[in-house]
Chains A and B, each alone.
Chain A
Amino acid sequence: MISTGQAKRIAVGYGFWIFLLSDIVMFACFFASYAVLVHATAGGPSGPQLFDLDRVGFETACLLLSSFSCGLAFVASSKRRAAPFYLTMAVTLALGAIFLALECGEFLSMTERNAGPTRSAFLSAFFALVGCHGLHVTIGLLWLMTMMAQVRAKGFRDDILRRLLCFNLFWHALDIIWVALFTVVYLIGVTA
């Protein structure tokens, strides 16, 4: 037999899963518009001239490792161990912040080279897609800090653990979207 607490946890996870799928459908629309507009450069710079694979590799490593440490934080929280939880959450926060800084740097260097979102349809689609993911990471970081504060203020209560489950799902989903993003936008963009 299974307790009501566990049942509630599974139901909450399922509900958040549905939200994540709707978020992924929204990203699919951005991916579709990017794929349609990728060659519409209007005489401006194209992907291979703009993309820096070293930077993208760094971003990918940061996000993958942050996903891993987020998982460790989740394991620590389900065992109600505070010290490893705060440590792994802080690592997740730092790696997410490095990712965002790298992405902001990329956007800035592109706008400085007259390759901002207003330059061509390709760049509008690029900034919309990558910027939307960056916005999600920003919201994720705010949520992460909120969760650390909530654990500090309220402890590992059942409702807090359910919120941590949702945050964990959210952060891993962002990493999945990034896998699609670095493949479709950067790697295929550079080779094609």
Chain B
Amino acid sequence: MTESFPPPDTGQVAPGDASNTDREPGVSSYVVGLVLASGLTLVSFAIARGSLFWQPSVPTALIVLAIAQMGVHLVFFLHLTSGPDSTNNVLALAFGVLIVFLIIAGSLWIMANLDHNMLPMERLMQMQR
């Protein structure tokens, strides 16, 4: 941490020295977050239970809704904003999202590929006899 703290408008901020804008989050942000998050949750459950929707589109719609809700949680509950206070947190989050994507997409891809290249189970059993 640096010895002196620059004024907030310099744009040169490290974790630990930043402006004190939005330092005290109010109740209103949590109320907005709760309303948005419950709305998205209700829509998710309605889509999953109802037969109103074209079935093949349902998983994609659910994933989109979940990502939207995570965004709502990040902004209104965790107060992750685009302000100078959050720059480092947002960068760390971006790195985390990259790793999460690599782990999940990479695992699915590699395992599907292995599965595709493997002999069918019956043939394997016959060969072992």
> Residues on A close to B: CB < 8 A?
1-2, 6-8, 10-11, 13-15, 17-18, 21-22, 24-25, 28-29, 31-33, 35-36, 53, 57, 60-61, 64-65, 67-68, 71-72, 74-75, 78-79, 169, 172-173, 175-176, 179-180, 182-184, 186-188, 190-192
> Residues on B close to A: CB < 8 A?
1, 5, 7-8, 15-20, 23-27, 29-30, 33-34, 37-38, 41, 44-45, 47-49, 55, 58-59, 62-63, 65-66, 69-70, 73-74, 77-78, 85, 88-89, 92-93, 95-96, 99-100, 103-104, 106-108, 111
Residue from A6, A35, A183 within 8 A of B23 (CB atoms):
A6
Q: Which residues of B contact A22 (CB under 8 A)?
A: 96
Q: Are B92 and A64 in touch, CB under 8 angstroms? A: no
Shortest Cβ distance from residue A168 to the other chain B in the assembled complex, whole angstroms:
9
Using A2-B20, A11-B15, A17-B89 as known contacts, say yes or no to A25 and B104 having CB atoms under 8 A apart: no
Q: How many angstroms between the C-alpha atoms of A173 and B78 in the bound complex?
A: 8
Residue from B20, B49, B62 within 8 A of A6 (CB atoms):
B20
Q: Are A190 and B5 in touch, CB under 8 angstroms? A: no
